[in-house]
Amino acid sequence: MAVVLVYPSGEMAYSSRFPVQDRAWRRRRRASSWLSRLRESRPRLRSAFSRRHGRGRRFSFAPSPDLVLVVLASLVIGGPSFLYVWQGAKLQQLTAEREAARAELTQLEEINHSLELQIEEGFSLQRLSRYAIGQLGMAPPTEVRYVHVPKSDLP
Protein backbone atom coordinates (compact mmCIF):
# COMPACT_ATOMS: atom_id res chain seq x y z
CA MET A 1 0.00 0.00 0.00
CA ALA A 2 1.28 3.44 -0.90
CA VAL A 3 0.43 6.80 0.63
CA VAL A 4 0.68 10.12 -1.21
CA LEU A 5 0.44 13.31 0.82
CA VAL A 6 -0.18 16.70 -0.76
CA TYR A 7 0.70 19.72 1.39
CA PRO A 8 -1.01 23.12 1.04
CA SER A 9 2.21 24.56 -0.49
CA GLY A 10 1.92 22.07 -3.34
CA GLU A 11 4.68 19.73 -2.17
CA MET A 12 4.01 16.00 -2.46
CA ALA A 13 5.25 13.11 -0.35
CA TYR A 14 5.08 9.39 -1.18
CA SER A 15 5.45 6.49 1.16
CA SER A 16 5.13 2.74 0.65
CA ARG A 17 6.28 -0.46 2.28
CA PHE A 18 8.81 -1.07 -0.50
CA PRO A 19 11.94 1.14 -0.38
CA VAL A 20 12.74 0.51 -4.07
CA GLN A 21 9.45 2.07 -5.11
CA ASP A 22 10.09 5.03 -2.80
CA ARG A 23 13.49 5.70 -4.35
CA ALA A 24 12.17 5.46 -7.91
CA TRP A 25 9.29 7.82 -7.11
CA ARG A 26 11.65 10.34 -5.48
CA ARG A 27 13.98 10.21 -8.50
CA ARG A 28 11.11 10.88 -10.90
CA ARG A 29 9.78 13.67 -8.69
CA ARG A 30 13.21 15.31 -8.44
CA ALA A 31 13.70 15.12 -12.22
CA SER A 32 10.27 16.56 -12.93
CA SER A 33 10.71 19.39 -10.41
CA TRP A 34 14.13 20.27 -11.86
CA LEU A 35 12.66 20.27 -15.35
CA SER A 36 9.67 22.40 -14.33
CA ARG A 37 11.96 24.91 -12.58
CA LEU A 38 14.06 25.13 -15.73
CA ARG A 39 11.00 25.72 -17.89
CA GLU A 40 9.75 28.46 -15.57
CA SER A 41 13.09 30.25 -15.39
CA ARG A 42 13.70 30.27 -19.17
CA PRO A 43 11.71 32.82 -21.22
CA ARG A 44 9.78 31.45 -24.15
CA LEU A 45 11.23 32.24 -27.55
CA ARG A 46 8.95 33.28 -30.38
CA SER A 47 11.76 33.78 -32.84
CA ALA A 48 15.25 35.18 -32.79
CA PHE A 49 14.17 38.63 -34.01
CA SER A 50 10.83 39.07 -32.23
CA ARG A 51 11.96 38.07 -28.77
CA ARG A 52 11.16 40.66 -26.10
CA HIS A 53 13.82 41.75 -23.61
CA GLY A 54 13.32 43.66 -20.43
CA ARG A 55 10.53 46.25 -20.61
CA GLY A 56 8.88 45.23 -23.86
CA ARG A 57 11.77 46.23 -26.14
CA ARG A 58 12.16 44.14 -29.25
CA PHE A 59 15.38 42.30 -29.97
CA SER A 60 17.39 43.84 -32.82
CA PHE A 61 20.63 42.67 -34.35
CA ALA A 62 23.32 45.35 -34.30
CA PRO A 63 26.85 44.04 -34.89
CA SER A 64 29.63 45.63 -32.92
CA PRO A 65 32.09 47.85 -34.81
CA ASP A 66 34.92 45.48 -33.85
CA LEU A 67 33.13 42.57 -35.49
CA VAL A 68 32.57 44.61 -38.64
CA LEU A 69 36.26 45.57 -38.77
CA VAL A 70 37.36 41.97 -38.30
CA VAL A 71 35.06 40.76 -41.09
CA LEU A 72 36.19 43.52 -43.45
CA ALA A 73 39.86 42.88 -42.67
CA SER A 74 39.44 39.16 -43.30
CA LEU A 75 37.74 39.91 -46.63
CA VAL A 76 40.45 42.39 -47.65
CA ILE A 77 43.23 39.94 -46.77
CA GLY A 78 41.48 36.67 -47.57
CA GLY A 79 40.01 37.69 -50.93
CA PRO A 80 43.27 38.45 -52.76
CA SER A 81 44.96 35.49 -51.05
CA PHE A 82 42.24 33.18 -52.34
CA LEU A 83 42.56 34.68 -55.83
CA TYR A 84 46.35 34.26 -55.75
CA VAL A 85 46.08 30.59 -54.80
CA TRP A 86 43.28 30.00 -57.33
CA GLN A 87 45.30 31.69 -60.07
CA GLY A 88 48.31 29.42 -59.41
CA ALA A 89 46.15 26.30 -59.49
CA LYS A 90 44.41 27.41 -62.68
CA LEU A 91 47.78 28.18 -64.30
CA GLN A 92 49.05 24.68 -63.48
CA GLN A 93 45.87 23.14 -64.89
CA LEU A 94 46.14 25.11 -68.14
CA THR A 95 49.85 24.26 -68.47
CA ALA A 96 49.07 20.56 -68.11
CA GLU A 97 46.29 20.83 -70.72
CA ARG A 98 48.66 22.64 -73.12
CA GLU A 99 51.32 19.96 -72.72
CA ALA A 100 48.75 17.22 -73.36
CA ALA A 101 47.59 19.07 -76.50
CA ARG A 102 51.21 19.41 -77.68
CA ALA A 103 51.82 15.69 -77.19
CA GLU A 104 48.66 14.90 -79.15
CA LEU A 105 49.69 17.33 -81.90
CA THR A 106 53.10 15.65 -82.22
CA GLN A 107 51.45 12.25 -82.45
CA LEU A 108 48.99 13.46 -85.11
CA GLU A 109 51.82 15.05 -87.13
CA GLU A 110 53.67 11.72 -87.15
CA ILE A 111 50.52 9.93 -88.34
CA ASN A 112 50.01 12.59 -91.02
CA HIS A 113 53.60 12.20 -92.24
CA SER A 114 53.27 8.42 -92.50
CA LEU A 115 50.00 8.80 -94.44
CA GLU A 116 51.66 11.25 -96.84
CA LEU A 117 54.43 8.71 -97.45
CA GLN A 118 51.84 6.02 -98.17
CA ILE A 119 50.09 8.32 -100.66
CA GLU A 120 53.36 9.16 -102.42
CA GLU A 121 54.27 5.48 -102.54
CA GLY A 122 50.82 4.63 -103.92
CA PHE A 123 51.24 7.01 -106.88
CA SER A 124 54.90 6.17 -107.68
CA LEU A 125 55.57 4.95 -111.24
CA GLN A 126 57.43 1.86 -110.05
CA ARG A 127 54.52 0.73 -107.92
CA LEU A 128 52.01 1.41 -110.67
CA SER A 129 54.06 -0.62 -113.17
CA ARG A 130 54.33 -3.54 -110.70
CA TYR A 131 50.57 -3.41 -110.10
CA ALA A 132 49.84 -3.29 -113.85
CA ILE A 133 52.11 -6.23 -114.59
CA GLY A 134 51.25 -8.38 -111.55
CA GLN A 135 47.53 -7.74 -110.98
CA LEU A 136 46.22 -6.62 -114.34
CA GLY A 137 48.41 -8.88 -116.54
CA MET A 138 49.86 -6.05 -118.65
CA ALA A 139 53.30 -6.12 -120.22
CA PRO A 140 55.83 -3.38 -120.81
CA PRO A 141 55.60 -1.88 -124.31
CA THR A 142 57.91 -3.43 -126.91
CA GLU A 143 57.42 -0.77 -129.50
CA VAL A 144 57.32 2.96 -128.72
CA ARG A 145 55.78 5.37 -131.21
CA TYR A 146 55.98 9.12 -131.03
CA VAL A 147 53.47 11.47 -132.65
CA HIS A 148 54.58 14.95 -133.59
CA VAL A 149 51.99 17.65 -132.72
CA PRO A 150 52.50 21.12 -134.24
CA LYS A 151 52.48 24.09 -131.82
CA SER A 152 49.44 25.60 -133.47
CA ASP A 153 47.30 22.61 -132.41
CA LEU A 154 48.24 22.95 -128.72
CA PRO A 155 45.60 24.44 -126.46
What are the tens digits of pLDDT across the range 107-116?
Answer: 999 999 999 9
What's residue 150's pLDDT?
85
**pLDDT tier at 102, thresholds 50, 70, 90:** very high
CA 68 to chain centre: 31
Q: Average of pLDDT values for 120-146?
A: 86
pLDDT digits (tens, 9 = 90+) for 25-60: 667 666 666 556 655 555 554 444 444 444 555 556
Non-local CB neighbours of 25 within 8 Å, separated by 6+ positions: 14, 16
Neighbours of 64 (CB within 10 A): 8
Buried b / exposed e across 75-112, counting CB within 10 Å, b at 16+? eeeeeeeeeeeeeeeeeeeeeeeeeeeeeeeeeeeeee
**Whether the Cβ atoms of residue 22 and residue 16 lie closer than 8 Å to each other:** yes
pTM of the model: 0.38
Q: Among 21, 23, 17, which Cα is nearest to 1's?
A: 17
What is the chain's mean pLDDT, rounded?
Answer: 78
Bridge-partner residues for 53, per DSSP?
Answer: 57
What's residue 49's pLDDT?
44
Give the integer Cα–Cα distance in Å for 105 and 97: 12
Torsion of Cα atoms, 139 then 143 then 144 then 147, to 10°: -120
**Whether the Cβ atoms of residue 144 and residue 133 lie closer than 8 Å to each other:** no
Give the integer Cα–Cα distance in Å for 76 and 153: 87
